[in-house]
Structure 1
């Protein structure tokens, strides 16, 4: 067992860039341990991830604000404060804030994340199904 007490003083928030569109900040909850990565991720309005998959899946717990989650080939779905999302292993998806709200979620990523291409403005603007 390992216990990670709150936010460690020596750990810094990171502004994400290479695989995100818009301004996105991540705050590690715990260091990557046995293939599990946990981050609090803050998206400014309109910010989002690029398309990606997770080797063993991902859990998102929406803490505040509202955003979109989208699986390849489907329209984006709204996510709001209090929602939990399970993304199965190797399911191609993206997630991020709406244009009207920020989004803060805790992302629990299982195994390696495989980053792909940027989400197009057209894909981001699709109406929810």
Structure 2
């Protein structure tokens, strides 16, 4: 039986890793700003337009935190919703909007961080001209995750 040299084994491992990386990134190969695959298309019951979600950290009884990444295509947005323990958004690319019920709409851009207070109605999504990538953090999930509400109207979305 022949034995492989350490160099040959290392080469095969690197080839395997590179092949997996190409498969993983293939979903988003047209957008160099994607760090994670797009994930699953969000349900039309909770989003207007196309919003793609991938979970990054699943809920468990140790951390009680959910972390994920959402890509909103241009014009896409969430419904109004609340989180029992609030939500933190980290905008990693693009441009979009966020609004807390009863307050003016905010424009978001790469590098912005938003704290959505517990049990407060809000929505977020991309601008009409550009998509938006965001990481979301949902803490203290033992209190619950999200309550989805009504759709954001075009008038609300386009108001300043």
Counterpart Cα distance in 2 of 1:77 and 1:13: 26
The structure with the largest helix share of the pair is 2
- 5+ residue gaps, structure 2, are 1-23, 25-36
For residue 84 of structure 1, what is the aligned residue in structure 2? 113
1:33-52 paired onto structure 2 within 5 Å: 33-34=60-61, 35-52=64-81
Q: Runs (4+) of structure 1 moved beyond 4 Å?
A: none
Counterpart Cα distance in 2 of 1:65 and 1:33: 31
Greater gyration radius: 2
Q: Tell me how many residue pairs correspond in the alignment.
A: 119
Does 1:98 find its partner at 2:124? no
Aligned-residue Cα RMSD (Å) equals: 1.8
State the TM-score, normalizing by the size of structure 2: 0.70
- 5+ residue gaps, structure 1, are 1-8
More relative contact order, 1 or 2 (CA 8 Å, 6+ apart): 1
For residue 39 of structure 2, what is the aligned residue in structure 1? 13
